[in-house]
C-alpha cells in the first residue's frame, strides 16, 4: 500500500506540472484564443537575426499581436515562368497575427497603407531581441514595392529598420570616401604649402610684408617727430576759418538772396501754366483767323486768275491782229479776193 500511495503522489505531481506548463505556454502566447485575429505578412530585405516566432507585434509600443511564421520567399512562393531570379525572391517573409480587439476601429488596410502604414524590425533595448513594429511613415519616401507573386495573406509593406538605415548610410559614406582621390589631394596640398612658403620668403607676399614694415616705420617716425601734431593743428585752424566764413554776414545775405530768388522762381513756375494756356488760346485764335482769311481769299484768287487769263488772251489777239480789234471783222481769205 505504501508503494502505491507513493506512485499516486508522483503521478499527481507530474499531472500538475503538465497543467502548469500548458498554462504558462498559453500565458506567453498572449491569450490569443479569447479574441479574433487577422494574419498579415511582410517582406524584409535585411537580416531577421533576433526575431523569433512568438515575438511581439507592437503599434508604437502597444502589443497588438505575435509573430507566427518566419521563412524565405523563395521557399514560400514559386517563381513564375519567364521571371528572372531577382531581388524580390531574396527577401524574408514574416507572418504575424494581429488581435482585432486590441487594434480597435481602424481604416481599411488599403487606405491605411496609402496613408503610410508600414512594418519594420525594432530592437528591445540592448538584449538583441527584436520585434515587429507597425507605424505610419511618409508614403512618398517609402512607396509600396511591386511583388511578382500572389500573397497568401494581406501584405503590409516593410521599411528598413533604424539600424539598417544607419548601416546603409555609413556604407554609402564609406563608399564615397573611397572614391575621393586622397593621394592627389595630399600632393596638391603639399604643392600649395610649398608655393606659400616660396611667396612668404621670396615672392610678392614677402615684398608686401617688407613694404608694410617700412610704412609702419615711417609712420612711427612721423609720430615721434611731431609733424602729425602740427598737421592736426593746421587742420583745426582751417576748420575754424571755414566755420567763421560760414558765420559771416555776407554769406548769410547771399543765402537769403538765394532763398528769395528761389521763392520768386517758384512763384514764376506756378504762373507758367497759366501763361502757357493763354499762349495756346492765342495760337488757336490765330489759326482760326488764318483759316477764315484763306477761305475768303481763295475765290478772289480764282477770279483774279481767270481775269488774268482773259487779259492774256486779249493781248495775244491784239498782237496777232490789231485791225480786227479796231475795224471789225478780218479781211476775207486770199481765195475770195481772187
pTM of the full predicted structure? Answer: 0.46
DSSP 51-93: --TT-EEEETTEEEEEEEEEEEHHHHSPPPTT----GGGG-EE
* Domain map (residue ranges) of the chain: 29-160, 184-230
Percentage of the residues of the chain whose pLDDT score is greater than 70: 78
* 63 alpha-carbon distance from chain centroid: 43
33 — pLDDT class (breaks 50, 70, 90):
very low
Mean pLDDT value across residues 300-306? 75
β-pairing, 130-136 with 56-59?
Answer: parallel
* 62 alpha-carbon distance from chain centroid: 41
| In the predicted structure, residue 301 carries a pLDDT above the cut 70 | yes
Which residues are 95's β-sheet partners?
41, 69
Q: Are 118 and 142 in contact (CB under 8 A)?
A: yes
Give the chain's mean pLDDT. 78
Could you report the per-residue pLDDT of 184-234, keeping only the tens digit for each?
A: 888 888 888 877 777 777 767 777 877 788 888 877 776 666 565 666 677
Could you report the per-residue pLDDT of 82-101, keeping only the tens digit for each?
A: 666 777 788 999 999 999 88
Opening angle at CA 33, ends 32 and 39, nearest 5: 60
Amino acid at each position: 500500500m505504501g508503494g502505491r500511495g507513493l506512485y499516486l503522489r508522483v503521478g499527481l505531481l507530474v499531472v500538475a506540472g503538465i497543467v502548469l506548463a500548458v498554462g504558462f505556454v498559453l500565458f506567453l502566447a498572449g491569450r490569443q484564443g479569447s479574441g479574433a485575429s487577422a494574419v498579415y505578412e511582410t517582406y524584409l530585405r535585411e537580416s531577421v537575426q533576433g526575431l523569433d516566432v512568438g515575438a511581439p507585434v507592437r503599434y508604437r509600443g502597444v502589443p497588438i499581436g505575435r509573430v507566427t511564421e518566419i521563412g524565405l520567399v523563395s521557399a514560400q512562393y514559386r517563381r513564375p515562368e519567364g521571371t528572372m531570379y531577382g531581388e524580390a525572391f531574396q527577401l524574408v517573409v514574416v507572418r504575424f497575427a494581429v488581435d482585432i480587439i486590441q487594434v480597435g476601429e481602424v481604416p481599411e488596410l488599403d487606405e491605411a497603407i496609402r496613408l503610410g502604414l508600414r512594418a519594420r524590425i525594432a530592437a528591445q533595448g540592448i538584449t538583441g531581441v527584436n520585434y515587429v513594429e507597425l507605424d505610419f511613415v511618409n508614403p512618398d519616401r517609402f512607396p509600396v514595392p511591386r511583388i511578382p507573386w500572389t500573397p497568401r495573406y494581406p501584405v503590409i509593406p516593410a521599411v528598413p529598420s533604424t539600424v539598417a538605415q544607419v548601416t546603409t548610410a555609413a556604407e554609402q559614406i564609406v563608399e564615397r570616401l573611397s572614391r575621393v582621390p586622397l593621394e592627389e589631394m595630399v600632393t596638391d596640398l603639399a604643392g600649395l604649402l610649398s608655393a606659400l612658403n616660396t611667396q612668404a620668403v621670396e615672392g610678392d607676399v614677402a615684398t608686401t610684408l617688407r613694404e608694410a614694415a617700412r610704412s609702419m616705420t615711417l609712420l612711427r617716425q612721423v609720430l615721434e617727430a611731431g609733424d602729425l601734431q602740427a598737421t592736426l593743428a593746421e587742420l583745426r585752424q582751417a576748420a575754424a576759418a571755414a566755420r567763421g566764413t560760414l558765420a559771416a554776414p555776407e554769406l548769410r545775405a547771399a543765402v537769403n538772396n538765394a532763398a528769395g530768388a528761389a521763392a520768386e522762381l517758384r512763384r514764376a513756375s506756378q504762373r507758367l501754366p497759366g501763361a502757357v494756356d493763354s499762349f495756346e488760346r492765342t495760337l488757336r485764335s490765330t489759326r482760326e483767323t488764318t483759316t477764315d482769311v484763306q477761305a475768303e481769299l481763295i475765290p478772289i484768287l480764282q477770279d483774279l486768275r481767270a481775269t488774268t487769263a482773259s487779259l492774256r488772251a486779249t493781248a495775244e489777239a491784239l498782237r496777232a491782229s490789231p485791225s480786227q480789234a479796231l475795224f471789225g471783222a478780218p479781211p476775207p481769205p486770199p481765195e475770195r479776193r481772187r
